[in-house]
A and B are shown apart, each in its own frame.
Chain A
Amino acid sequence: ETGVTQSPTHLIKTRGQQVTLRCSSQSGHNTVSWYQQALGQGPQFIFQYYREEENGRGNFPPRFSGLQFPNYSSELNVNALELDDSALYLCASSAELSTDTQYFGPGTRLTVL
């Protein structure tokens, strides 16, 4: 298993609510990427944080936002939740930018009713 952890494991919200998901990166890693994985699909890149700055973003609306803290842990915030936001949210950490190996956390299963 990797040293990447995520919380919570599962979450149920209703449309319009806001949610915060958390990720602790593996020791020695300063880069965290977030992905959304819908059922039966591959992970879709949301954004990446490197040393507390956003370093690249996928095709997700601004209501998806994030933070990275000095200890390199990270948060994903989603505002105005929609039914289609129901998915597994994965974070992955890597030692440096981009093409270093990314190690995934166990994910947070978000259900929006």
Chain B
Amino acid sequence: GENVEQHPSTLSVQEGDSAVIKCTYSDSASNYFPWYKQELGKRPQLIIDIRSNVGEKKDQRIAVTLNKTAKHFSLHITETQPEDSAVYFCAAPPYSSASKIIFGSGTRLSIRP
């Protein structure tokens, strides 16, 4: 069935280090992969997304990589800062029902000073 798995569920990194969050999806025809950041009590905010015609996309300290063969995509945050502490969600719409975006279970990222 349609599924998006995300790991790790929690991640703690030293300020200035890099953080990597990984997601796998089940529908090989999925073609759009957004990442959202949700701070406590706030709305999910899109931070980066990638479509299946590219393998990597960067925006300053944030990058997303996509491996369509393995059906996984990853979020990379470099030079982490305290304001990066939040819950991060990956998402993917199954091609068979593209209106229905399925979210991963989330990764709680903590940046240690």
Contact = CB atoms under 8 A, between A and B. Distances in A.
A86 to B, nearest CB: 16
Nearest to B31: A99
Interface residues of B, number: 24
A42 B3 CA distance: 13
Nearest to A35: B103
B98 A99 contact: yes
Contacts of B101: 33, 45, 102
Instruction: Report the contact-size class of chain A (Cβ under 8 Å from the partner).
Output: 20 to 34
Interface stretch (A13-21, A62-70, A71-79, A103-111): A103-111
B93 A101 contact: no
A61 B49 CA distance: 31
Interface of A: 2, 33, 35, 40-45, 48, 50, 55-58, 90, 97-99, 101-107
Interface of B: 6, 31-32, 34, 36, 42-46, 49, 51, 89, 93, 97-106
